[in-house]
Amino acid sequence: MHTLTDRLAGRAAVVTGAGSGIGRATALRLAAEGAAVTALDVVPASLESLAAEAAADAAAYGGRVRTAPVDIADEGSVVEAVGAAVAAHGRLDALVNAAAIHYGDHTHATTLERWNRILTVNLTGTFLVTREALPALLESPHGGVVVNFSSTSAFFAHPYMAAYSASKGAIMSFTHALALEYADRGLRAVSVVPGGVETPITGQTPANLPADVDWDKFAKLMPVLGRGTFGGPDDVAGVVAMLVSDDGRYVTGTEIRIDGGTHM
């Protein structure tokens, strides 16, 4: 990677879904640019490996990665984890809501339990973490920033993903409302819209699709950059770091699509 700046020095950030994939890359990227980061995830083992990775490269991360468990679908867990993060850092300047789950189903075969689970983790979880972080974000002298994770499935047809797509579309609407509601208090709220990024979620997608999946329906879902290969978590993490920094100071209430040109 090219030499990074310290444009986030003195900032504190919370990143959810930080044990894996894009959230993990984002937690490390924010720390590498100088932020003190609390990395939250529901899988303890993934947090242990993140902590070890950060500790192994003190030159890059400077001991700035703190890890803690959270289940964003559990209100009590979110209250405790976000409260502890704000207390540990003494402030909060940025929140990145990357945690999510994904299952594919025929819509006619989707159980209410599965529908509710996807909406609860992805959408309600994003709301709960944001709600708990807002009081501290609104105190940030830099202007607090919320970066939420939507998905190209919110804008373009992705088969078998009705619940997931609906959760990601709602996250975008939620983000718009936040951006206007708190703009006069210096807060910015932006959604990133990834697509075609190689992570455990995309790796597990084939196994999570119906047994009679029609692959022709995925014909329009391949990136054009990289000759059909997927991008990597760092391709998204760098954009999130820009949004969190002052380089993103004129960006709010909108979305940035990062999909290798899949949906041109």
Ligand X SMILES: NC(=O)c1ccc[n+]([C@@H]2O[C@H](COP(=O)([O-])OP(=O)(O)OC[C@H]3O[C@@H](n4cnc5c(N)ncnc54)[C@H](O)[C@@H]3O)[C@@H](O)[C@H]2O)c1
Residue 230 CA to residue 195 CA, distance in Å, equals 9
Task: Check residue 196 for interaction with ligand X (CB under 6 A).
Answer: yes
217-222 long-range Cβ contacts below 8 angstroms, 24+ apart: 217/159, 217/160, 218/159, 220/156, 220/262, 220/263, 221/158, 221/195, 221/196, 221/262, 222/196, 222/262
Query: By CB under 6 A, is residue 133 in contact with ligand X?
Result: no
Where does residue 184 rank: exposed (0-12), middle (13-18), buried (19+ CB within 10 A)? exposed
Minimal distance, residue 6 CB to ligand X, in Å: 25
- The yes or no reply on residue 151 touching ligand X (CB under 6 A) is yes
Position 132 contacts ligand X (CB under 6 A): no
Q: Does 157 bind ligand X (CB under 6 A)?
A: no
Judged by CB under 6 A, which of 61, 149, 160, 182 binds ligand X? 149
| C-alpha span between 227 and 180 (Å, rounded) | 39
Q: Are 40 and 18 in contact (CB under 8 A)?
A: yes
Rounded to a whole number of angstroms, the minimum distance from the CB of residue 263 to ligand X is 11
Residue 238 interacts with ligand X (CB under 6 A): yes or no: no
Instruction: State yes or no: is 182 an active-site residue.
Output: no
In single-letter form, the type of residue at position 207 comes to: A
Count CB-CB contacts under 10 A for residue 157.
11
Nearest residue by C-beta to ligand X? 21
Q: HSE of 16 in the Cβ direction (CA atoms, 13 Å)?
A: 31
In the complex, the smallest distance separating the C-beta of residue 184 from ligand X, rounded to whole angstroms, is 28
CB of 256 to ligand X, least distance (A): 12
17 forms part of the interface with ligand X (CB under 6 A): yes
Residue 244's nearest CA partner among 185, 175, 192 is 192
**Residues 6 or more apart from 130 whose CB is under 8 A from it?**
95, 97, 146, 148, 174, 178
Which x/- pattern over 43-82 shows residues binding ligand X (rule: CB under 6 A)? x--x-----------------------xxxx---------
| Burial 190-206, CB ≥16 within 10 A → b, else e | bbbbbbbbebebeeebe
In the complex, what is the shortest distance from the CB of residue 218 to ligand X, in angstroms, rounded to a whole number? 13
Catalytic option among 61, 103, 160, 164: 164
Q: Which of 44, 200, 210, 228 binds ligand X (CB under 6 A)?
A: 200
**Cβ at position 227, least distance to ligand X in Å:** 17
Contacting ligand X (CB under 6 A), which of 8, 15, 54, 100?
Answer: 100
In the 8-state DSSP scheme, what is residue 4? P
Binding flag, residue 201, ligand X (CB under 6 A): yes
Site string for ligand X, 166-195 (x = CB under 6 A): ----------------------------xx
Q: Under the rule (CB under 6 A), what is the footprint of ligand X?
A: 16-17, 19-23, 41-43, 46, 70-73, 98-101, 121, 125, 149, 151, 194-197, 199-202
- Catalytic residue list: 164
